[in-house]
Amino acid sequence: MFALTANDPRQIGPYRVVASLGEGGMGHVYLTGSPDGRWLAVKRVLPHLAHDAGFRSRFALEVETARRVASPHTVRLVDADTGAEQPWLASEFIPGPTLVQHVEAHGPLAEAHVRRLGVDLAAALTAIHGAGLVHRDLKPSNVILTSTGSKLLDFGISRAIDYSTSVALTQTGGVVGSPGYMSPEQAQSNPLTERSDIFSLGCLLAMAATGRVPFEGPSIPQVLFKVVYEEPDLSSVPEALRGPIGACLAKDPADRPTLTELTEILSGTGEVASEAPEPVVSFIEHQRQQAAAFTGPAPTMVDQGPTYVFPPVPVRSKPRLSRPVIAVLAAVAALLVIVPLWIVLSSGDDPPPSGDGDFADSGSDGDESSASESSLSIPSSAELCELLDPESFATALGTAWEFEDIQEDDDACRATVRDSESIAYSSLSIWVVGTTADSWAFCPFTDCDYDYNGVLVGSESTERPWEMGGVVETGPRMEMIWYQEGLSGTVSATTMGADDEAASDLPDLLHELGVALYDLAEAA
């Protein structure tokens, strides 16, 4: 943490800049104070990237998608402006050392802490992959050690899986990532899947256990050659960890374990640390004092428990005329000219109130009523928490699962459940937001233009008079989604570690909650 220089900004968006946290390949990170008293870390994109129109469009897509990431082990994205002269994003400021800082100062982690690190990061990657992202730059400097476990940050270099893999984030033929932690397919500039992150996780765990990367060399080309063609050096890795780490480092992505399998191996074959190393606790206290010196009296810190992420800010996508329910757009074109364009991520303006400025209700008989006149409303977070049924969710995941806690925030509610036989967590979230019928989230119901990997579980629901609705499965995430009159309701569950047989009841539970959510929005 460093004092500001004459070249540093004093304000980014609505946030007052108070100190510098460092600079990376994509941008400079600042400690800021928010209007509501929170400490936030704001990353402002470097000027040469800010002038790249292609980068801006991909960055905007990634920010939109990253808002769907929900895990106790990822740093929460709070705000962003991709339309600013230098785009920026704001996340919670989490006190704690990065993994590389800790290892450099205190040496490798003990085996129990390496296991805990692996389990935490597997949970983080599960949430990231479930949102349609590949991190692509998993390395020790992107991992923060906190008093409640490890947290993964920096999705700025990751990209949506459903975006064309023929378009690189750097110049054509370039490679994005950190050489010592790249997968073979990444080093060769081949298309990436979630399994690339698992290889990088293996490299990171080897470094945490030994203080060295498993592929070393005097130059970047030699390191990349070893990554692609040679076996990793795991001779210094504790014997009990060589199996799971070595499996992650398989050259063929298909031979690497899934995140669920890796979690089961790490948590089931040895002790998993339940508390942070003492140097981490000391570092956190020191950093709190540093931040207070720059900002004055300390506000409530984030690191008091798991960090949660709630639904995306309403985003208007480019309309597709192929869906029948949008056919009346031509008739309301004049209206749209005067309606504020609802793209939060490309404007410095605050979003309009929920429901304002959205499409006309295309389900009416020529009625051009806007979403602001919708018969549905957005329920409060307290009302949503009353609706959630975390005990039934825990039962649907398996007999060993039990309710952990529930938290309300920003017109959403989230419940966390825990596997009593391990340290695995899953979550159940619920929200209603303003959106449009052509959002990529509704691809399972439409002939969308996105390469989206979500699939309907069973058939589309007609339980209520919504324009579309049903249960959708995307990797380790299952969601009940409905759309009506410019509003979307979602009941979202992560299913990592769930018992397959017991989880067969989950679609019915989510559908039941989705129907109840619609009724609540109608009555709100």
Binding site members for ATP: 43
Catalytic residue chosen out of the listed positions 120, 137, 197, 419: 137
- Show the 3-state SS of 320-353: CCCCHHHHHHHHHHHHHHHCCCCEHHHCCCCCCC
Gyration radius (Cα) of the chain, Å: 23
Exposed/middle/buried for 260, CB within 10 Å: 0-12, 13-18, 19+? middle
Exposed/middle/buried for 189, CB within 10 Å: 0-12, 13-18, 19+? middle
Tokens for 30, please give them: 């600042």
In whole angstroms, give the CA distance from residue 489 to residue 518: 7
Find where tokens 């810190």 sit.
Answer: 301
Q: Which amino acid is at 167?
A: V
Exposed/middle/buried for 178, CB within 10 Å: 0-12, 13-18, 19+? buried
Pair 332, 355: CB distance under 8 Å: no
137 is catalytic: yes
In whole angstroms, give the CA distance from residue 266 to residue 248: 12
Tokens for 75, please give them: 């740093």
**CA distance to 54, 121, 194, 207, 248, per residue, from 200 (Å):** 26, 11, 10, 11, 8
Element (H, E) at 294: helix 278-295
Using alpha carbons, select from 309, 312, 313, 344 the residue that is nearest to residue 152.
309
In whole angstroms, give the CA distance from residue 102 to residue 108: 8
Using alpha carbons, select from 44, 47, 42, 36 the residue that is nearest to residue 18.
42
Tokens for 268, please give them: 């089931």
- Binding-site residues from annotation: 43
229-259 residues labelled b (16+ CB within 10 A) or e (exposed) = eeebebeebbeebbebbbbbbbeebeebbbb
Provide the residue count of the chain.
524
Q: Identify the three-state secondary structure at position 484.
A: strand
Residues acting as catalytic residues: 137
